[in-house]
A and B are shown apart, each in its own frame.
Chain A
């Protein structure tokens, strides 16, 4: 439970969402709030899975010792039916949220740490190190992400695995895809900030490289990160599901995983059985949608060309674009506020 709370905290605290909800109007606010609700449901389901799920994810028999039976239609005992393997669909759905959240946390944290560090080094020092890192990142970025993920999954787990083995395999394969993105974004910001007067002055008074990098540059170059994190979290769910669908996911007895369930459902669909495919699929769609809506809205709100203001002036607004960028420069103050986001968001509805 402790890890969940921490994980949730780290995810939420990185989202300075409150100011965005406030500065949004109309459709944009609707999208942001809808996204926050869907994401909230996803995270809460993941955290409270043991309480919510009627059965265990690998449970085949009820308390009375009678097997559930394979491919049972939705009924009172099994609200969403049972799978070919005789598992309860609803329970695997709920437990699957937890697996997905673990993967997101590991993948996003690992790629941020590595990607931001490399981006900082590349952008700050420049020269041959920068050239090499950028060329490598470009090459990896251009490559079909799923194929890269498959290769990494083969390396990490050899194809099949336990729960944590599978989670690490999926998370690491996603990390490899994300690192180039974090590297480039951080690098671009660092290059921009490096020439600012305050960095010059820090250098003049003799601050060390490490101090300038962490204190002056890093702090100011993270403003685009919340956006990338939400979008990458949704991509992480999709990649995990795709790996599972290709049979490179987590064993059904080790953890519940939506992509694996869909893989098993392919033959069911041909014989007209809909519940084994529909529900895990919807779970993926809704959780990815939630994260994407949040990410998209943050993106639009951070881009003055796409942002609508409460005053609502028509297209001419773009020519002026005054008042500073509410997405920029909000550092520490927002972090404390943002941890209260889940409650506030329900309040706004």
Chain B
């Protein structure tokens, strides 16, 4: 993900909104909330059109493996031989009622797949974000303060390497070094079989292993769960950390050049204080927007990280369904993620508007 494209693109959605909103926060939020509907509709429609443009999912999954008449019968049973527009309207109606379809291969409703595996992905994304913040923001700040000297050069190079390394390759390397050679961390999975059994038997399990593990109060399980999370979280987190680093660096540098920093300097504010107070804090605002853009990237990254570490979340499951050529499940999961992305973007935009009055015009 490029830092430049999102930044250059940043003001656009706000600009579309600008005409409609009179300037009050309430109206901004209302207009922004209304924009969710076309966004979700466009994404869901795009996915539908693309997936059905080439044929029905049953032929795609079983074509060549079944005699033509049996195949036609199953296509008919599932209703895939009706006019596309009828199927499309039915599909939209189902999504409105929260029905994202039923997987062909294991006959599980997509909503059930999501509730079962979503928690694991959420947990991984959360760890990864913590690592990204903890690494990216301090390093970006340092790079801006020591601009064009070696700490800056090292940090920037690090950010580029983090961007250039595919998460799955980073994951494979971490696995090779820290689990296979050094033996510090487990190779794959979310927990050992024994802890996993205990966690699954827990009453009202959340599916977020750390929370469940803490509820068991068993230190062995807690440390087991944490140890399993380290490598996947680092692999996914470092990728995002590189983006944060670059955004913080660029923004601190540009606020350093702002008029009010010059004014403060001319009043005799110390250089240290200038950096710490005047330039640094306003530079953090764009991070909010970037976090929003990163949610989409984290989801892409999670699919790959989960596959590398057999972390049984939505991404892992998606890859499984892809291999099984179960395109109903794929379409359902992708459509659900479209809704998630649209909602998070809305929340991020609202937070950005709350923090920075300039956003809402």
Contacts and interface: CB of A to CB of B under 8 A. Distances in A.
B160 A134 contact: no
Interface in B48-69: 50-51, 53-54, 60
Contact of A281 (B39, B173, B323, B341): B173
Contacts of A315: 256-257
B122 to A, nearest CB: 15
Nearest to A134: B16
Contacts of A231: 2, 4-5
B160 A293 contact: yes
Contacts of A319: 257, 259, 262
A308 interface: yes
Range, interface on chain B: 35 or more
Nearest to B12: A184
A154 B51 contact: yes
Given A270-B187, A281-B169, A318-B257, A139 B303 contact: no
Nearest to A259: B166
Interface-centre pick from B42, B152, B330, B331 (highest chain A CB count, 10 A): B42
Contacts of B342: 139, 142
Contacts of A31: 156
B303 A285 contact: no
B8 A188 contact: yes
B327 interface: yes
Interface stretch (A55-63, A143-151, A337-345): A143-151
Contact of B50 (A152, A158, A259, A285): A152
Contacts, number: 193
Contacts of B156: 31, 296
A151 B50 contact: yes
A299 to B, nearest CB: 5
Contacts of B164: 234, 238, 284-286, 288-289, 292
Given A184-B12, A295-B2, A247 B148 contact: no
B39 A138 contact: yes
B331 to A, nearest CB: 8
Nearest to B148: A27
B47 interface: yes
A188 B338 CA distance: 26
A174 interface: no
B268 to A, nearest CB: 16
B360 interface: no
Interface string A208-226: 0000000000000000100
Range, interface on chain A: 35 or more
A246 interface: yes
B9 interface: yes
B349 to A, nearest CB: 11
A150 B322 contact: yes
B12 to A, nearest CB: 6
A146 B180 contact: no
A151 B321 CA distance: 13
A159 interface: yes
A27 B331 CA distance: 47
Interface-centre pick from B38, B148, B166, B303 (highest chain A CB count, 10 A): B166
Interface stretch (B72-80, B126-134, B198-206, B294-302): B294-302
25 contacts: A26-B148, A135-B16, A138-B12, A142-B341, A142-B342, A143-B338, A147-B300, A151-B47, A151-B50, A154-B60, A181-B5, A231-B4, A234-B164, A242-B166, A245-B166, A246-B304, A247-B322, A269-B180, A274-B176, A278-B173, A285-B166, A286-B164, A288-B163, A289-B160, A296-B156
Given A228-B5, A242-B166, A316-B262, 17 more contacts: A136-B42, A138-B39, A142-B39, A143-B43, A145-B300, A154-B330, A158-B54, A158-B60, A184-B12, A238-B166, A271-B180, A277-B169, A281-B173, A295-B2, A305-B257, A308-B148, A318-B256
